[in-house]
Amino acid sequence: MKHVPPAWIRVTAFVVSVGTMGWLHLVAFPDTVVVLTYALPLLLCLSLRDRPLLAAMSGSFLAMTWYKSFYLLPPATGGWGHLAMQAANIAIVTAAVYRAFDLADRVDAERARLEMANGDLAAHEEELGQQNEELQQQTEELQQQAEELRQQAEELHRQAEERDALNFELTGREDLLRSLLDALPERVDERVLLERICTTLLTMTGGSSGVSAAVMERQGDDLVVRALVGASRHSQRLRFQASFSSIVMREKRAAAIHDLAERPDLDVPELHGARVRAALAAPLCWGNEPRGAVALYSATPRTWTADDFRVIEWVATKCSLVMELRRLHERLSSSNADLERLVHERTAALSATVEDLEHFSYTITHDMRAPLRAMTGFARMLIDDQGDLSDARRQDFLLRIATAAGRMDRLILDALDYSRAIRSELPLERVDTHRLLIGMIGSYPELESSRRHIHLADALPWVCANEAGLTQCFSNLLSNAIKFVDPARPLRVVIRAETRGKIARIWFEDDGIGVPPEMTGRLFGLFQRASRTYDGTGLGLALVKKVAERMGGRVGFESEPGVGSRFWLEFPRAEP
């Protein structure tokens, strides 16, 4: 920065310098050349660096020199020579000083510029310092954030690990659920299903060696191992009451024993010939009852974790559900099979009944047309008679018409009995055959004349049949026994019984005409008549067979023509 001295200094310096030099050159030594030149006061200007002062002093000094050279000094020393020398001196010094001023100004300017640059630098430095400070703060913040991020990353990593563990467990659960769902239908063997459950349980609990999984079910006093995975040899049956599973079944929750050495009282499985050392079990329930248990066994003492508990409880719940569903499914299938069987049986019975009825209606039509044809034919012949028929012939025709009408009536009644026997309900009950036969023999009008010829054994059994049905059968057999007899021989009917295991057979033996061998296979058929000598419709034995079979019984006979017949009825025995 350019230095400018105050005005009073400049004026003082000018006055003093010009006064001093004037006094010296013009007053004190007017006629001599003074040694002390004007250069000195000019040099003074260097300190003041005042160009106007320098110019003023130089001018003053040139004026004083001019005045001294031509007016004070002798021409010998003065004059142009002196002026020139002094003027040159003043000019050189002034020029030098001026030059020094320039240099000083330049130095000042440079200094000022440097100072300015320094100031800028300082400002910049300050700014940099601030920025540096800010950066430092930011760095600290970044470090803090980095720390937070690191912590978050650690948290995420931990969560990822947890998620992986959960995923693993979920995958296990999903696999098991899929297996269980696949196994719901009965096509998957139950043992295979239970082994899958054991495998999943082992996997989900870490699958360490020396650990086996088992599913057990209570059967009476025993606990039977239904499936086992993780051990090739294992007890197959335990005492239920002494088993660890009985405890979890009773408590209806999972339980564990870390070292079975502390519970020697428990009956635990042996793995590879050695008693297991640790167990974790959960109950299996279906039908609202504990039925068994799923268990993990360890060959060495083991501390079961909360995860182990959670997994086995989950597996037990799902296993119980599937077992219950399978039981229900089995029951449903069984019911369906029963229903189908029942429908099949009913359909078969219905078809048989329809077939019977068709056969019956066909044969009865056939047999009823004979008396009808007779009645119509003889009646028409009588109507058309123009006196050609004798009285005896007319009488014969009328008798034949009456006989045919009677036969028609019997056919209708027997047909009604038969059709009722086909259709009516015959609920089974305990029947005292002895009491029934005594009652029948004593009260039936058609047996009245033959009553004393019928011999009843002392004891006849109780059977499982229907009393009304039995009455029908007995009645028909007794009627036949007293009807198909040789008039030349005395009537004799014997009723007796024999038991064959759970079956009672009641015999009706007569000394009648017997059954021709040709009739053996068809005697119980509809409208089958072995003889036209005896009145009958051919429905009696068919009715006996039908009714007996509908009551779960059987009928048969043994016969020798001309000697007699032995008809029998068989029914399951009943307690009196």
Partner 1 sequence: MSFTLLYAEDEENDALFLEIALARDTVGVALHVVGDGKRAVAWLAGDSDYADRSKYPLPDLILLDLNLPLRSGLEVLAWIRTAAGLGGRPVVLLSSSGRESDRRAAERLGADLYLVKPVSGDQLGSVVRELGRRWFPDRLKLT
Nearest distance in Å: CB 516, partner 1:
6
The answer to whether 463 contacts partner 1 (rule: CB under 8 A) is: no
* 376 binds partner 1, rule: CB under 8 A: yes
> Is residue 265 a contact point for partner 1 (CB under 8 A)?
no
Which DSSP state fits 520? T
| Chosen residue from 18, 519, 543, 544 binding partner 1 by CB under 8 A | 519
- Chosen residue from 187, 452, 500, 532 binding partner 1 by CB under 8 A: 532
User: 292 with 223: CB under 8 angstroms?
Assistant: yes
| Piece of the chain touching partner 1 by CB under 8 A; list 13-21, 214-222, 377-385, 476-484 | 377-385
Q: How far is the CB of 406 from partner 1 (least distance, A)?
A: 13
Nearest approach in angstroms of CB 385 to partner 1 is 11
- Report residue 298 as tokens: 């360890």
Residue found by looking up tokens 């219950």 in the block: 324
From residue 497 to residue 516, the character string flagging contacts with partner 1 as x (rule: CB under 8 A) and all else as - is -------------------x
- Binding partner 1 by CB under 8 A: which of 101, 314, 508, 527? 527
Kindly identify the residues of this chain, within the stretch 98-137, that bind partner 1 according to CB under 8 A. Answer: none
Judge residue 198's burial from the number of C-beta atoms within 10 Å of its C-beta, 0-12 exposed, 13-18 middle, 19 or more buried: buried
Grouping H, G, I as helix, E, B as strand and the rest as coil, residue 378 is: helix
Complex with partner 1: residue 82 or 407, whichever CB lies closer: 407
Tokens of 322: 């599937």
Is 426 a binder of partner 1 (CB under 8 A)? no
Using the structure block, give the residue that is written with the tokens 């799923």. 294
Choice between 426 and 541, CB closer to partner 1: 541
- Burial readout 394-412 (b: 16 or more C-beta within 10 A, e: otherwise): eeebeebbeebeebbeebe
Candidates 54-62, 457-465, 497-505, 526-534 — which segment interacts with partner 1 by CB under 8 A? 526-534
What is the rounded CA–CA span in Å between residue 45 and residue 146?
69
Comparison of 516 and 562: residue with beta carbon closer to partner 1:
516
* Min separation Cβ 360 and partner 1, Å: 13
Q: Is residue 518 part of the contact set for partner 1 (CB under 8 A)?
A: yes
Two structure tokens written together for 513: 């005409």
Instruction: Give the count of beta carbons closer than 10 Å to the beta carbon of residue 154.
Output: 10
- Shortest Å distance, C-beta 408 to partner 1: 12
Hey, what amino acid is at 58? S
Question: C-beta of 405: minimal distance to partner 1 in Å?
Answer: 12
Counts of helices then strands in the chain (DSSP H, E): 11, 15
> Cβ closer to partner 1: 167 or 365?
365
Tokens linked to 419: 């059709």
Q: Which is nearer to partner 1, 379 or 503 (CB)?
A: 379
| CA-based nearest residue to 308, from 155, 201, 428, 457 | 201
Contacting residue, 530, 541, 555, 569, with partner 1 by CB under 8 A: 530
- Residue 380 interacts with partner 1 (CB under 8 A)? yes
State the Cα–Cα distance between residues 468 and 379, nearest whole angstrom: 41
Reference 5, options 47, 56, 58; nearest CA is 47
Q: Min. distance of Cβ 522 from partner 1 in angstroms?
A: 9
47 scored as a contact of partner 1 (CB under 8 A):
no
Among 253, 258, 329, 400, binds partner 1 (CB under 8 A): 400
Smallest distance from partner 1 to CB 343, Å: 29
Comparing CB distances to partner 1, the nearer of 458 and 518 is 518
Contacts of 270 (CB under 8 A, 6+ apart): 233, 234, 235, 276
Interaction residues for partner 1, span 314-373 (CB under 8 A): 362-363, 365-367, 369-370, 372-373
Residues near partner 1 (CB under 8 A), total = 27
CB closer to partner 1, 353 vs 528: 528
DSSP secondary structure letter of residue 78: S
Task: Tell me the chain's radius of gyration from C-alpha atoms.
Answer: 73
Cβ pair 249, 218 in contact under 8 A: yes
14-43 binders of partner 1 (CB under 8 A) = none
Pick the binder of partner 1 from 377, 556, 561, 572 (CB under 8 A): 377
| DSSP designation for 266 | S
- C-beta of 275 vs 400, nearer to partner 1: 400
Residue whose tokens read 């099949």? 344
Q: For residue 561, how many C-alpha atoms fall within 13 Å in the half-sphere facing its CB?
A: 8
Contacts of 95 by beta carbon, 8 Å cutoff, 6+ apart: none
Restricting to residues 538-567, name those near partner 1 by CB under 8 A.
Answer: none
Q: Which residues contact 44 (CB under 8 A, 6 or more apart)?
A: 13, 17
Rounded to a whole number of angstroms, the minimum distance from the CB of residue 395 to partner 1 is: 14
How does 280-314 read in b/e, with b if 16+ C-beta sit within 10 Å?
A: bbbbbbbeeebbbbbbbbbbeebebeeebbebbbb
For binding to partner 1 (CB under 8 A), which residues are involved?
362-363, 365-367, 369-370, 372-374, 376-378, 380-381, 384, 400, 404, 516, 518-519, 527-532
